[in-house]
Amino acid sequence: MPIGKPNVLVISELFPNPPYPAFGIFVERQTSHLQPLCNNTVVAPVRVFPPLRIWKQVFSPVRFLSEWRKWRRDLQQIPPQGEVNGLKVFYRRYTSPPKQIAHGLWGFFAYPFLAGLLRRLHRESHFDLIHAHYASPCGVIALLARRWMKVPIVLSIHGADVTYTAKQNPFSAAVIRWVFRNVDVIIANSTWTAQQIVRYGGSPDKVQIVRYGGSPDKVQIVHLGGNPPKRIELGNALPPRSDGVVLLLSVGYLEERKGHAYVLRALKELRQKGYNLYYKIVGDGSQKRALETLTRELGLDDVVSFEGYKSHSEVWPYFAECDIFVLPSWDEAFGIVYIEALALGKPVIGCEGEGGPEDLKALGDCIELVKPRDVGSLVSALQRLIENPKRRQQMGEIGRRIVEEHFTWERNAADTMRIYRQVLEASRA
């Protein structure tokens, strides 16, 4: 029997909200592009528990209170229900133990807070399937809801389940394995991620790779909460500068595994060799103060700028103006920022052995791979690109073609919809 336009319940803890409009933007982009093909309703669990970075300031009362108040203000800005690019989003609060102790159990704590909402939404929409993003907590929530919803589950794994949660302790690992065994299909974002899913108990027959999108929409319309829609025009790469400065860029959370400290140390060496460089860092995170301190200690204050947190639409001009995008991160299942830089014709630098960078390298000469946590390897790669503008241009052109062929949100939506139909046909057989 032909399958019409299905009603899909999307459960994702990562989803844009008013204080953090780029939070889980890759889930929003996919869901928005699927909207013409299916009827999506999004439930975004919001955890209410101060993060570890706040508790680390407990012996500095002024800083602790400042961080606490900001966290409370941000939380208060998230409405119970909102709209993001035409998608209905329900932000339901829950609480759970610290991530560092029991991340794998979060779904069991969250479900009682969400069960009533999920039952009401199912009565209203009669969902045909659930698409959960991340095994913990949302995969767990989906499996608990399926006991009475009786629909198939598609699970997307973006990285943290296999790079962090499954390695945390035996309990969290057991939860990840339980989720992998019991969902209907698992979507991986890279070859490496697919291998890790199988390593942690996912059946190879269940795993399918769907590539992210990376190219910007020419016009994005953003609508959060009760605010009027905001129309944002997005341009292409800017022409080369005439000042002789080579601009480096990193975009990502300021966490140790993203490798910003190694770029700073490489920048110090390259400056000592006489290269005219400037480094912009876009993002926020727990390592911000440590990175600012390192920048001062290396004497790089005049050539490094911390740009802070930016919305997804605000990031594109940074990609457009940079000469080289560099993010030598490890435990990186994919890294969507690599393809976003490539979409604007920029050469990129990533690490060997990581999901996204290795897949990109296999598709063409658009990325330089360096050894993780290795300043010398990073210096060599940067030096090669700095000294060879023609190669930078060639890599960027190859990268742009790769994105246009393999990494569009339209293709992502089509591939995901194909999986939806496969799952629904199997469930109705």
**pLDDT tens, per residue, the chain with 429 residues:** 456 899 999 999 999 999 999 899 999 999 999 999 999 999 999 999 988 888 888 888 888 888 889 889 999 999 999 999 999 999 999 999 998 888 999 999 999 999 999 999 999 999 999 999 999 999 999 999 999 999 999 999 999 999 999 999 999 999 999 999 999 999 999 999 999 999 999 999 999 999 999 877 543 433 333 344 344 344 444 455 557 899 999 999 999 999 999 999 999 999 999 999 999 999 998 899 999 999 999 999 999 999 999 988 889 999 999 999 999 999 888 888 999 999 999 999 999 999 899 999 999 999 999 999 999 999 999 999 999 999 999 999 999 999 999 999 999 999 999 999 999 999 987
pLDDT confidence of residue 61: 87
In this structure, are 248 and 373 located in the same domain? yes
**Within 10 Å of residue 221's Cβ, how many Cβ atoms?**
13
Q: Please report whether residue 219 resides in a domain.
A: no
If asked whether residues 265 and 201 sit together in one domain, one would say no
Question: Residue 354 — φ and ψ, nearest 5°?
Answer: -105, 150
pLDDT at 313: 85
Task: Please name the residue that has the structure tokens 């336009």.
Answer: 5
What CATH number does the domain containing 412 carry?
Answer: 3.40.50.2000
Please tell me whether residues 373 and 307 are part of one structural domain.
yes
Q: How many residues are there in the chain?
A: 429
The pLDDT of residue 224: 36
Q: Tell me whether residue 226 is in a domain.
A: no
Let me know whether 187 and 163 are in one domain. yes
- Partners of 43 in beta bridges: 11, 90
| Residue-level pLDDT at 3 | 66
Q: Is residue 221 part of a domain?
A: no
Residues 187 and 329 in one domain: no
Does 1 map to a domain?
Answer: no
181 in the same domain as 205 = yes
Kindly state whether residues 378 and 414 are assigned to the same domain.
no
Which structural domain, as residue segments, surrounds residue 42? 7-213+408-428
Mapping DSSP onto H, E and C, the string for the chain reads CCCCCCEEEEEECCCCECCECCCCHHHHHHHHHHCCCCEEEEEEEEECCCCHHHHCCCCCHHHHHHHHHHHHHHHHHCCCEEEECCEEEEEEEECCCCHHHHHHHHHHHHHHHHHHHHHHHHHHHCCCEEEEECHHHHHHHHHHHHHHHCCCEEEEECCHHHHHHHHHCHHHHHHHHHHHHHCCEEEECCHHHHHHHHHCCCCHHHEEECCCCCCCCCEEEECCCCCCCEEEECCCCCCCCCCCCEEEEEECCCCHHHCHHHHHHHHHHHHHCCCCEEEEEECCCCCHHHHHHHHHHCCCHHHEEEEECCCHHHHHHHHHHCCEEECCCCCCCCCHHHHHHHHCCCCEEEECCCHHHHHHHHHCCCEEEECCCCHHHHHHHHHHHHCCHHHHHHHHHHHHHHHHHHCCHHHHHHHHHHHHHHHHHHHHC
Predicted pLDDT at 228: 42
Query: Are residue 373 and residue 340 in the same domain, yes or no?
Result: yes
Q: Answer whether residue 227 is part of any domain.
A: no
**Strands 324-326 and 81-84, how do they pair?**
unpaired
* Number of separate domains in the chain: 2
Q: Is 351 within a domain?
A: yes
Residues 311 and 357 placed together within one structural domain of the fold: yes
For residues 87 and 362, give the distance between their C-alpha atoms in angstroms, rounded to a whole number: 35
Are 185 and 313 part of one and the same domain? no
**169 and 209 in contact (C-beta within 8 Å)?**
no
Q: Is 418 found in the same domain as 310? A: no
Asked whether residue 120 is domain-assigned, the answer is: yes
Considering the domain boundaries, does residue 218 fall inside one?
A: no
User: In the prediction, which pLDDT does 240 show?
Assistant: 54
Same domain, 371 and 418: no
